[in-house]
């Protein structure tokens, strides 16, 4: 009988060979076998990441079948470890989230809705200073967003707000802004209210604001003033279209979904930021 180490080595050897299988060959049985062996017999993050890259290189139909098989195994693994309250290492957690981000576009129901709680639990378990894992989680939420029902999107948006409030690096703030842009409500009034609230957090200043303005322009392609992607233009537009929304009232302070919180408790209105913006921009 082949021992676990040998099966793990065999799976690792097979992964690059899978990439050489022609598109006319049904590789489903072989890929499923490698997925099964990889998740059962190995705990190597780089092996799983390589397997995900091979699946992405398959033709469309094969890609969807293999993506769903891998994500199903991944979610089983996440759910079992989370029930036992055993957080993964920061590298393994980052790879788990990154695989979900890569494969989310090829998933069908019920996998996306099942994946969201697993990713949010991964976020709750992650260290507040784990930049690598946080960025991968944000990317996963952004990729899953179009496939999530409104109630799950709202939960993910709330968690993303908390994450944004505690970031210490501009690059991470920009990544979380991308997730939040994708998770904003589909209803126009709710979208406007949530959008204005996001602009009030100090950590959205700079590049994250530009990510949000890009989403605003994408959502309303017929509004030419928004196509300039300028903060002042956007605020003037909101003031006209949604006068019921205050630009000066402070937003609700987000709470990180864990027993500890390290993010600063400073929230500001947009007014202080816009004052300087109006001076700098024509």
Instruction: Encode pLDDT of 61-74 as tens digits.
Output: 878 888 998 899 88
Do 72 and 1 reside in the same domain of the chain?
Answer: yes
pLDDT of 170 above 60: yes
Do 71 and 138 reside in the same domain of the chain?
Answer: yes
Instruction: Encode pLDDT of 102-146 as tens digits.
Output: 999 999 989 999 999 899 888 887 766 677 888 999 999 999 999
Do 213 and 280 reside in the same domain of the chain?
Answer: yes
Structural domains of the chain, count: 2
Cβ neighbours, 10 Å, residue 16: 11
Residues 133-161 have a mean pLDDT of 91
Do 182 and 240 reside in the same domain of the chain?
Answer: yes
Do 94 and 184 reside in the same domain of the chain?
Answer: no
Do 122 and 219 reside in the same domain of the chain?
Answer: no
Is 140 domain-assigned? yes
Number of helices (H) and strands (E) in the chain: give both, helices first.
13, 0
Is 261 domain-assigned? yes
Do 181 and 226 reside in the same domain of the chain?
Answer: yes
Do 72 and 210 reside in the same domain of the chain?
Answer: no
Do 144 and 176 reside in the same domain of the chain?
Answer: no
What stretch of H or E contains 188? helix 188-199
pTM: 0.79
pLDDT of 53 above 60: yes
Is 166 domain-assigned? no
Is residue 26 very low, low, confident or very high in pLDDT (cuts 50, 70, 90)? low
Instruction: Encode pLDDT of 239-261 as tens digits.
Output: 999 999 988 888 776 665 553 33
Do 118 and 176 reside in the same domain of the chain?
Answer: no
Positive/negative CA dihedral, 56, 59, 64, 68: negative
Domain span including residue 123: 1-148
Is 160 domain-assigned? no
Residues 146-163 have a mean pLDDT of 89
Do 31 and 119 reside in the same domain of the chain?
Answer: yes
Instruction: Encode pLDDT of 232-243 as tens digits.
Output: 999 999 999 999
**What is the average pLDDT value for the chain, to the nearest integer?**
79
> Could you tell me which of 219, 237, 230, 223 has the C-alpha nearest to residue 273?
230
């Amino acid at each position: 009988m082949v021992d676990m180490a040998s099966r793990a080595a065999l799976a690792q050897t097979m992964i690059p060979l899978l990439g050489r299988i022609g598109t006319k060959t049904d590789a489903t049985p072989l890929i499923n076998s490698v997925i099964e062996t990889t998740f059962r017999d190995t705990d190597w993050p780089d092996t799983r990441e390589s397997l995900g890259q091979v699946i992405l290189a398959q033709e469309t139909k094969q890609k969807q079948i293999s993506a769903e098989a891998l994500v199903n195994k991944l979610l089983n693994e996440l759910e079992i470890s989370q029930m036992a309250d055993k957080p993964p290492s920061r590298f393994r957690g980052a790879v788990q989230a990154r695989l979900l981000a890569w494969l989310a576009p090829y998933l069908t129901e019920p996998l996306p809705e099942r994946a969201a709680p697993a990713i949010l639990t991964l976020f709750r378990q992650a260290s507040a200073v784990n930049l690598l894992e946080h960025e991968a989680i944000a990317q996963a939420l952004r990729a899953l967003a179009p496939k999530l029902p409104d109630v799950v999107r709202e939960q993910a948006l709330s968690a993303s707000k908390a994450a944004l409030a505690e970031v210490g690096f501009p690059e991470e703030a920009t990544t979380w802004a991308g997730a939040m842009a994708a998770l904003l409500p589909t209803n126009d009034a709710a979208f406007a209210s949530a959008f204005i609230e996001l602009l009030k957090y100090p950590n959205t200043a700079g590049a994250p604001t530009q990510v949000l303005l890009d989403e605003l322009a994408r959502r309303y392609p017929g509004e030419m003033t928004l196509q300039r992607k300028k903060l002042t233009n956007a605020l003037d537009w909101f003031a006209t279209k949604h006068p019921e929304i205050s630009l000066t009232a402070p937003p609700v302070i987000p709470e990180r979904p864990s027993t500890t919180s390290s993010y600063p408790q400073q929230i500001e209105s947009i007014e202080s930021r816009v004052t300087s913006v109006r001076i700098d921009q024509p």
